[in-house]
């Protein structure tokens, strides 16, 4: 089952193919990052912090400590087009988090 992530305003920004998938894709199915540390923090393809899953939101922590280089996970293959998940609605303010810039969410 595809798991979609949204920004603070409720627009879809990324997805995983299933809840335990290590890989993160943009809304068009392009690989943008992965979950190397086994928690809710995602790294981009170069190993830099990308964002954190907060509920059904993918947000950027305003002050993220460096966690070290996570290595390279290997190519995840083609995720396909996930379809349109709809609008999640406004989520309100998440202290210490902001939306990830759109340029970081393109594969």
Give the pair of three-digit tokens for residue 93: 């303010």
DSSP 3-state percent helix, strand, coil across the chain (nearest 5): 5, 35, 65
| 82 in Cβ contact with 15 (< 8 Å) | yes
What distance in Å separates the CA atoms of residue 97 and residue 92, rounded to the nearest whole number?
A: 11
pLDDT band at 91 (very low <50, low <70, confident <90, very high): confident
Does the pTM exceed 0.85? yes
Give per-residue pLDDT as tens, 4-60: 999 999 999 999 999 999 999 999 999 999 999 999 999 999 999 999 999 999 999
Give per-residue pLDDT as tens, 43-56: 999 999 999 999 99
| 86 in Cβ contact with 15 (< 8 Å) | no
In this structure, the strands spanning 3-6 and 97-99 are unpaired
User: If residue 6 lies in a helix (H) or strand (E), which one and from where to where?
Assistant: strand 3-6
Structure confidence at residue 98 (pLDDT): 95
């Amino acid at each position: 089952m595809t798991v979609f992530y949204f920004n603070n305003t409720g627009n879809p920004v990324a997805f995983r193919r299933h809840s335990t998938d290590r890989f993160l894709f943009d809304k068009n199915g392009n690989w943008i990052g992965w979950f190397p540390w086994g928690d809710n923090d995602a790294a981009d393809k170069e190993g830099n912090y990308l964002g954190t899953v907060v509920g059904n939101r993918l947000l950027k922590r305003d002050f993220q400590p460096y966690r070290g280089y996570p290595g390279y996970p290997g190519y995840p293959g083609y995720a396909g087009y996930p379809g349109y998940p709809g609008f999640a609605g406004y989520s309100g303010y998440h202290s210490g988090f902001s939306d990830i810039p759109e340029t970081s969410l393109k594969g």
